[in-house]
Amino acid sequence: MSHLPRLIRVIGIIAKYRLDDFLVDQPGGSFLRAALLPARLPWLFSSKGKGSRNQRLRLAMEELGPIYIKFGQLLSTRRDFLDQELADELQSLQDNVPPFEKPGVEEIIAKSLGQPASDIFQELESRSFASASVAQVHKAKLMSGEEVVVKLLRPGIREVVTADLKLLKWIARLIEERTSLGKRLHPVEVVNDYEKVIIDELNLQSEGANASQLRRNFENSPELYVPKIYWDYTRRDVLVMERIHGIPVTDVAALVEAGVDLKKLAETGVEIFFTQVFEHNFFHADMHPGNIFVSRENPQNPQYIAIDCAIIGTLSDDDQEYLAKNLLAIFKRDYRKVAELHVECGWVPAGTRIGEFESAMRSVCEPIFEKPLKDISFAHLLVQLFRTAGRFNMEVQPSLVLLQKTLLNIEGLGRQLYPELDLWQTALPYLESWNSKRLNPFTLINKIGEELPNWVDQLPHLPVMVLDAISQSRQLQRLNANLAELQQQQLERESRRHRRAVTGGILALLLAAASLFEPLNSWVSGTPVITAVLTITGVFLLSDLLSFKR
């Protein structure tokens, strides 16, 4: 097993933090806890095993390193499966990773860009000012005098990620197959989602492309600014980006000192989110506070600055449409519509009983709606709805998980800035506007206009397509006729065999009855020809009867 050394290390940390407590009351849990006992012995008197098990899980992930920290952060977004306390604990994981020093910054740049760093930068700080799990960032100045930041991928991180992913998948399969908790949490699915996220983060060119698209979407916008990417100096392992000078969004004291309108700032954050989801269908899915700053210019109409666009979410046209319809139905407390939409869009199986699903949705939403709207967490309501739908075998949509995670971040941040934020009131105009555009005749005409060139391209092929369809229809009719004829023949054969079997059964009964009468029995046994005929007939009928039963 190539990942044996890592497995041994993981087992040691599991024992150290007494994570076997999660196996209590799980099928097979007693056996697994007993198997861990030798590894636990060195830590019997350690303080590492104290505290709540959720805290110990967080500490264990921090000790295991950056890959497990990011996995814990992603797991925290699955609030439709996790209990509130565990999700909050995992969400608090801090990605504080010591910076790497070797190889040197200049060496990495020269290898990636094919020229010495001194030919590109007039200034380049060798010491990083920010360090994360997969990359670190250095301040620099281009020869043109523009201030930039240089993001460098950690050396050897791809090999580490590959090895850790293999181990995580193995552990996830083990947990899912052996414990009821695993069947509920779907850890294999979570690890697969995590793999997609982390692989995208290992390509800085992909991050740069996402940032460029987001920048175009909000070009000249007073609400959001995205720094420029310098493509001449960006590669898979190196990204050079415009340096920004904003206020960290969590530094409320600095924002107040700068005169920023916090109410306007909170509402703008929500507006940016819904603009990305329903107008651009391209949303920044990693908008935690460390990636968001606020411009010092125009504090009464504040502008956000977004960095680190490695994780981007998009929705299919169907998901986008059904999400908007679902949210509007929730606003109107039309739970029947919510249930029907979940079935229509394939989020729950087609055979789901609408009435039962509607009742479950109502039981979740009604107690929540008893509060004033401003006191209701929009994101947590969605979590509750997804959790309820999970009881009806709702398939997890990765795009919706990213959306849920982003909404949790946005709403949490907005209420931190302005506790009275009414996200519902801010969101409703966007949903109504989206719905109005969808129903607008001009929108329909525009869609027809967009599709018209494709239809024109297909016109020359239309006669052939019609003839092919007619031919296929005739072939299908012939096939159905032949099938019906074969079925009729099969029924007739079965009927004949059934009659023979019945006749044989009656004959066998008659012979059995006859054998009870001594005179007739002696006559039959004394007549070789009759005996032979009856024997052969009986064997034939018996074989036919057995064939019929098969």
Q: Active-site residue numbers?
A: 286
Assign 294 to helix, strand or coil: strand
Q: How far apart are CA 220 and CA 222, in angstroms?
A: 6
Is-contact 245 297, C-beta < 8 A?
Answer: no
Tell me the two tokens of residue 444: 């329909």
**Which residue type, as a one-letter code, is found at position 87?**
A
Query: Distance between terminal CA atoms of the chain?
Result: 49
Pairing of strands 135-142, 224-225: unpaired
Cα–Cα distance for residue pair 195/166, rounded to 1 Å: 10
| Cβ within 8 Å of residue 180, ≥6 positions away | 26, 27
Establish how many alpha carbons lie within 13 A of residue 455's alpha carbon, considering only the half-sphere containing its beta carbon: 6
Find all residues with CB under 8 Å of 208, minimum gap 6, and list them: 229, 231, 234, 239, 241
CA distance linking residue 213 with residue 225, whole number of Å: 12
Q: Which amino acid is at 267?
A: E
| φ, ψ of residue 388 in degrees (nearest 5) | -65, -45
